[in-house]
A and B are shown apart, each in its own frame.
Chain A
Amino acid sequence: MAPVMPLQMAPEGKELRVTSINAGRGLTRRLIEMGFNERALVKVLNSHGRGALIVQLNDARFAISRGMAMKIMVDVA
């Protein structure tokens, strides 16, 4: 099984799958509403090292801060 990691650590350009969200209830819900539900496929387009990320989710692009990206767990799809 592919290792689960926070989105922050994920490699750029690889197809990833959201496995879970490690956050409080409200934030988890918000992320799901924005499309980060379990099994959603995402891709890191641009990683600023220790800074924020640009993530592709279907046809949307999101800027995600480091703190937030640590809460979204993914594995390589």
Chain B
Amino acid sequence: MGAKNHITVALAGNPNAGKTSLFNAITGSRQHVGNWPGVTVEKKVGKYTHKGIEIEVVDLPGTYSLTAYSIDEIVARDYIVEERPDVVVHIVDASNLERNLYLTTQLMELGTRVVIALNMVDIAEKRGDVIDIEKMAGFLEIPVVRTIANIGYGVTTLMDEVVKEAQKPEHHEHEIGYGKEIEKALVKLESIIKRDTHLVGIYPLRWIAVKLIEDDENIKERIEFSPVREEIEEFLAEIDTIDFEARMADKRYEAINAVLPQVLKKGEVGMTTSDMIDRVLTNKYLGIPIFLILMWGAFELTFTFATPFMDIIDLVFGHLSGWANENIEPAWLGSLIGDGIFGGVGFVLIFLPNIFILFLMLSFLEDSGYMARAAFIMDKLMYNLGLHGKSFIPLLMGFGCNIPAIMATRTIEDEKDRLITILVNPFISCGARLPVYLLLAGAFFGGQAATVIFFIYIFGIVVAVGSAKLFRSTILPGKPAPFIMELPPYRLPTLRTTVIHMWERGSMYLRKAGTIIFVFAIVIWSLSAFNGDGYIEETEKDIDEGELLVGDGAFEGKGRFTVLEDGEGTFTGTVLETVELKSGTYEKDRYYEGIELMEEEELHGDGTFEGECEFLSDEDGGRYIGEDFTVEESFAADIGHGFGPITSPLGFTWKMNTALVFGFVAKEVVVGSLGVLYGVGEDEDRVSDSMEDDKDFSPLVAFCLMLFTLLYLPCLATVPVIYKETGSVKWTGFSVGYGLVLAWLLAFVVYQVGSLMGY
């Protein structure tokens, strides 16, 4: 075998051992790192060149062994066992050696080339542990390199060892002896398996034998069609595999414990700081109140801290929009830039500060180690509501974005528990929904805005757990499976990592604003500025003698001005026939300035009328300056009106309908759309002022719109993820349908009851 210049390296190890940190340090990527087990749930590939050798590095989900129980572990197991990377870097948490080495024994048995990255040595050493890595490498016959993954310490040395190891042949020499009786059984099994030449080519013989005794599902599947299957099964039926398996596990721990004392000198172990913090934060009585106070605090901060920044951005975009409308020619381009881009995208960007603060909180939650504790604190409550203890983590993550949250359910072993967690996740208010709440509550609830938004958040949670309870008692009956989860030690997150995490996710919002929201702002602008007849524009036209024109604008000439129903206007000029109007009596042939005409009033005159009316020109004809048609007659209005019959019981107008239709793409688009629809053809600099001017837009309607936005549909990007994770069209459809129905029903009840109560 010649020297390889392209090798694949898998990063494997227990959950939270620092695999992704190491991956990032090696490849320069920025994959998600967090201080709780189960952050990584799919494999990630990165490239790195080390001394001319191309290395494909694969980050894997954490796993305790090569037997998989949950989907994330299957990913890790399959990659290591089936894909056979050239080298497995086993990331061992130095501060928890014994348990971590259990996986080492399994990797040894599999016969892959292994290099151990002894990670978190900083923590182990700080508390006084002394680890003799030379001895460790000697005993295990595996190279060991000290690393501190989060600062990139030891990476070069590690990769040196990896490259060296990759050039060696696979070796199975170091294995654990299981004692006479079991060894005899293994030899016998091996001799049977050997006759299946196909299987022998794939895995080491001894490993297959061990896995068969361990009743491993994957291997059992593998021998399904093997010619020696019956013989294997007969043999396995003769021995007590359960007892054998237990003894084998014992032997592995025995082997580890034989090595450990010679390698590791443990420092003082008193009560750790972590345990002391736990005394308080996970206290039987204080746990839940502290959790709620923290959440409330985080919420308050997200809201209040951002306000001044929001105001600044708001003002800037308001001015930009006004400026573009007035100064850019032609007018349609001015409107596209002013109303569409500055109005739509800018409107979404106003909420950037909130989003960043929200993600800052979530990063802190994840990096501190509190995340996993929250699941513990809430376990009893969750259990009573029919949710698995581990479900709490995906629910919390949902406040950021439902997509990673739904992916995070992969660590939940039980299918039903997992499915329920996926189905209820979209009801958790993600970051994209926050701008919708901020906009609507800000415009309609003034000083109460924070309370209203908090209520909406709580409402989402109530719907989520209520739905879980409902599913448990109907379509997915049963009790949540018992759970066990490792709790990471508390760590004070460094400012740097927290800020990086915040930026990673906050910038997603920024990217979205620059791409999808940008595109849809233009789409919605186009739909609202055009109809079948073309662009909605100010026109000037001459009207011939005896012609009738209906319009909203200024009319000049001699003729009859009949104000339309609902309309009004003012006339300046000479009155040609004496009239009695609500505003007074005006005499023939006299000149008046600013006569007010109210609805359905008529005046015969020679001069200028401004307002909405029917103008019938006299002998000389006249001139009209105004809009041909308005946004009310645009395509956007057609779409909105189309949904009118469905949403009018909820108090929604066409503008809201249109915004909701496009909001399916991404919830921020609801904000962007409202920004455009209330911007086009309006004079107000600030769109929220135009919204307040809309008489159909009451606080009650705004509230219902928030509720509806919360519940109605997972966003376009979430639906395929639900499909991928449930693997079922049926459940995906159910998720979408259930949300829609629930959104409608709840908004209906709130609107109708609210209306009756006079809001």
Contact = CB atoms under 8 A, between A and B. Distances in A.
Q: Which 5 residue pairs are nearest across A and B when measured between Cβ atoms?
A: A67-B482, A68-B482, A51-B380, A63-B376, A35-B99
A52 interface: yes
A62 B380 contact: no
A31 interface: yes
Contacts of A77: none
B488 to A, nearest CB: 8
B491 to A, nearest CB: 13
Which secondary structure characterizes the binding site on chain B?
helix
Given A52-B376, A65-B379, A46 B282 contact: yes
Contacts of A25: 215, 242, 245
B253 A52 contact: no
Interface in B100-119: 102-103
A32 B102 CA distance: 10
A63 B372 contact: yes
Given A32-B249, A48-B380, A26 B486 contact: no
Interface in A19-77: 25-26, 28-35, 37-38, 45-52, 54, 56-68, 70-71
B382 to A, nearest CB: 9
B250 to A, nearest CB: 7
B484 A64 contact: yes
B284 interface: yes
Given A48-B380, A59-B96, A60-B99, A34 B215 contact: no
A59 to B, nearest CB: 4
Interface string B347-387: 00000000000000000000000001101100110010000
A61 B35 CA distance: 14
A33 B484 contact: no
Interface string B151-185: 00000000000000000000000000000000000
Contact of A31 (B67, B284, B484): B484
18 contacts: A29-B65, A29-B214, A33-B64, A33-B102, A34-B484, A46-B279, A46-B283, A54-B282, A58-B98, A61-B487, A63-B389, A63-B484, A64-B483, A65-B379, A66-B482, A67-B482, A68-B483, A70-B482
Q: Is the interface of A mostly helix, strand, loop or mixed?
A: mixed
Nearest to B373: A63
B96 A71 contact: no
B319 to A, nearest CB: 53
Contacts, number: 112
Contacts of B486: 34, 60-63
A4 B99 CA distance: 24
Contacts of A59: 95-96
A43 B375 CA distance: 20
A65 B278 contact: no
A52 B95 contact: no
Interface size class for chain B? Answer: 35 or more
Contact of A65 (B99, B373, B483): B483
Contacts of B312: none
A54 B242 contact: no
B258 interface: no
B484 A45 contact: no
B482 A71 contact: yes
Interface residues of A, number: 36
B65 A33 contact: yes
Could you say which of B283, B284, B375, B484 has the most chain A C-beta atoms within 10 Å of its C-beta? B484
Given A25-B215, A25-B242, A29-B67, A52 B379 contact: yes
Contact of B389 (A46, A56, A57, A65): A65
A50 B103 CA distance: 33
A24 B582 CA distance: 89
Interface string B257-289: 000000000000000001100110011100100
A46 B379 CA distance: 14
Given A37-B249, A38-B250, A59-B96, A48 B284 contact: yes
Contacts of B375: 63
A54 B249 contact: no
Nearest to A46: B282
B69 A65 contact: no
A60 B98 CA distance: 10
B245 A29 contact: yes
Contact of B379 (A37, A47, A63): A63
B485 interface: yes
Nearest to A72: B484
Contacts of B279: 46
Contacts of A47: 284
B484 A62 contact: yes
B711 to A, nearest CB: 30
Contacts of B379: 48, 51-52, 63, 65
Contacts of A33: 64-65, 67, 102-103, 249
Contact of B96 (A32, A46, A58): A58
A9 B106 CA distance: 33
Most buried by B among A49, A56, A60: A60
A46 B89 CA distance: 35
Given A37-B249, A63-B389, A65-B379, A45 B278 contact: yes
Given A54-B282, A67-B482, A34 B376 contact: no
Interface string B193-217: 0000000000000000000001100
Interface string B62-88: 001101010000000000000000000
